[in-house]
């Protein structure tokens, strides 16, 4: 094969790539999002495939493929998901660090997210907190706290009311001064002039503790995300619509924000964060004013965002049942530290 990856429909090439590693498959995923060709009618030819590539091929929905050099680790993946495959040469192992990092306990979705992060196909940014100490009214609330989140990772912080969860988020936002320690968002230290210029990279969903009857529409709320960014009107309108469609609230664009349900407001607020291209999302007790239906919809929306947009997300909550259903990594904030 001349190309590293060829995809055929009715024996005619519809997609080719000369890239290496897993990038052709991620590019092919973008192609699928723009085509109406049923994926089960496509035939894929790849030069090399191990367990990682096989997992991506399965998730893309490909049912038939030919691999020139196939790793034995890929065979069970194809067989388990009913993919018909043929190969030119079968080897016991492909020399690739990624292959060794994928464990048998990882689900297909976990493998997919892991590979996206390794490929840099995530919107998120790193969050690093080192020895953070915060005092409020002379009281120690955060005590030499350490935390590290990689790009596109998610974490839920639990804790009793008054344990300092909201204070921690406000410190990350630069709204509460730190008595000691360092907070890094990407390559920028919170509080510096360079961080000030890039504050829009952090999105914040706060608790709605007061009723506000200000006459502003849902679309105008989302547009706040680009209010401080110099863009053409057409670009702003495009970003607002795209963000609202991604969070399933575009149909609400002309409705007054204060008349929306709690779940609808959360969707609009998330759309605002996406509209500003936030790479770090901070969610403060996001289920506080939601009924069970709204909680379930929010959970599904966050899971969907983690798979597609993959921003780094930090959620604080005392809603243990909802946290269990979300099934994200969890830490507890107690006595000013995470455990």
Identify the pLDDT of residue 81: 94
Same domain for 152 and 101?
A: no
Task: Kindly report the pTM of this predicted structure.
Answer: 0.72
Look up the CATH number of the domain holding residue 36: 3.40.140.30
Q: How far apart are CA 81 and CA 61, in angstroms?
A: 10
Q: How far apart are CA 107 and CA 4, in angstroms?
A: 27
Neighbours of 101 (CB within 10 A): 13
Same domain for 223 and 154?
A: yes
Same domain for 106 and 163?
A: no
Tens digit of each residue's pLDDT (9 = 90 or more) over 234-264:
888 888 998 999 898 999 999 999 899 888 9
262-275 and 233-246 are packed helices; what angle lies between their axes, rounded to 10 degrees?
A: 130
Evaluate whether 225 touches 273 at the Cβ level (below 8 Å): yes
How many structural domains is the chain composed of? 2
Evaluate whether 69 touches 88 at the Cβ level (below 8 Å): yes
Evaluate whether 230 touches 220 at the Cβ level (below 8 Å): no
Same domain for 160 and 303?
A: yes
Domain encompassing residue 75: 5-118
Look up the CATH number of the domain holding residue 186: 3.40.50.300
Same domain for 78 and 187?
A: no
Same domain for 131 and 112?
A: no
Rg (CA), the chain: 23
Among 72, 98, 118, which residue terminates a domain?
118
Same domain for 67 and 88?
A: yes
Same domain for 176 and 43?
A: no
Identify the pLDDT of residue 208: 63
Same domain for 134 and 111?
A: no
Q: How far apart are CA 93 and CA 218, in angstroms?
A: 53
* N- to C-terminal Cα separation, the chain: 53
Q: How far apart are CA 128 and CA 134, in angstroms?
A: 16
Same domain for 145 and 293?
A: yes
Identify the pLDDT of residue 70: 95
Same domain for 79 and 192?
A: no
Among 90, 118, 146, which residue terminates a domain?
118
Dihedral of alpha carbons 18, 24, 30, 33, sign: positive
Question: Which segments in the chain show pLDDT lower than 70?
Answer: 1, 208-212
Same domain for 141 and 108?
A: no
Identify the pLDDT of residue 63: 95
Among 61, 90, 118, which residue terminates a domain?
118
């Amino acid at each position: 094969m001349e190309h590293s990856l060829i995809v055929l429909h009715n024996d005619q090439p519809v997609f080719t790539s000369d890239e290496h590693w897993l990038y052709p498959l991620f590019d092919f995923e973008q192609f699928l999002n723009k085509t109406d060709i049923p994926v089960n009618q496509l035939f894929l030819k790849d030069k090399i495939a191990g367990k990682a590539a096989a997992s991506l091929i399965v998730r893309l929905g490909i049912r038939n493929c030919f691999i020139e050099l196939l790793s034995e680790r890929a065979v069970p993946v194809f067989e388990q998901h009913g993919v018909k495959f043929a190969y030119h040469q079968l080897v016991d192992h492909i020399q690739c660090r990624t292959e060794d990092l994928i464990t048998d306990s990882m689900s297909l979705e976990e493998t997919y997210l892991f590979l996206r992060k390794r490929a840099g196909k995530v919107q998120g940014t790193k969050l690093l907190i080192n020895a953070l100490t915060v005092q409020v009214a002379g009281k120690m609330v955060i005590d030499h706290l350490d935390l590290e989140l990689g790009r596109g990772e998610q974490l839920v912080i639990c804790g009793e009311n008054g344990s300092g969860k909201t204070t921690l988020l406000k410190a990350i936002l630069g709204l509460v001064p730190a008595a000691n320690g360092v907070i890094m968002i990407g390559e920028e230290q919170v509080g510096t002039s360079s961080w000030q210029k890039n504050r829009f990279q952090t999105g914040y969903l706060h608790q709605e503790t007061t009723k506000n009857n200000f006459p502003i529409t849902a679309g105008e709320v989302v547009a706040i995300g680009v209010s401080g960014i110099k863009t053409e009107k057409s670009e702003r309108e495009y970003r607002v619509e795209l963000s609202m469609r991604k969070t399933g609230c575009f149909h609400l664009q002309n409705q007054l924000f204060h008349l929306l349900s709690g779940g609808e407001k959360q969707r609009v607020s998330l759309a605002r964060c996406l509209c500003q291209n936030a790479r770090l999302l901070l969610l403060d007790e996001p289920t506080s004013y939601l009924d069970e239906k709204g909680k379930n919809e929010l959970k599904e929306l966050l899971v969907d965002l983690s798979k597609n947009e993959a921003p780094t997300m930090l959620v604080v909550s005392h809603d243990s049942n909802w946290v269990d259903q979300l099934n994200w990594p969890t830490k507890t904030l107690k006595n000013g530290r995470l455990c």
